[in-house]
Amino acid sequence: MDALTWHAGGCHCGAVRFEVALSGRVKAQACNCSMCEMVGFIHMIVPERRFRITAGQGQLTDYTFNTGVAHHLFCRICGVKSFYRPRSNPDGWSVNARCLDDQTALVIEVEPFDGRNWEQHAAALAHLSHDPSVREEVPV
Ligand SMILES: [Zn+2]
How many angstroms is it from 46 CA to the middle of ligand 1? 22
Residue 56 has a pLDDT of 97
Flag whether pLDDT at 131 surpasses 70.
no
Q: What is the pTM of this model?
A: 0.89
Residue 123 has a pLDDT of 86
How many angstroms is it from 92 CA to the middle of ligand 1? 22
Contact 109, 100 (CB under 8 A): no
How many angstroms is it from 120 CA to the middle of ligand 1? 34
Mean pLDDT across the stretch 12-25? 96
Flag whether pLDDT at 135 surpasses 60.
no
Mean pLDDT across the stretch 22-41? 93
Distances, alpha carbon 33 to alpha carbons 26, 30, 40, 128, 137, in Å: 21, 9, 10, 19, 33
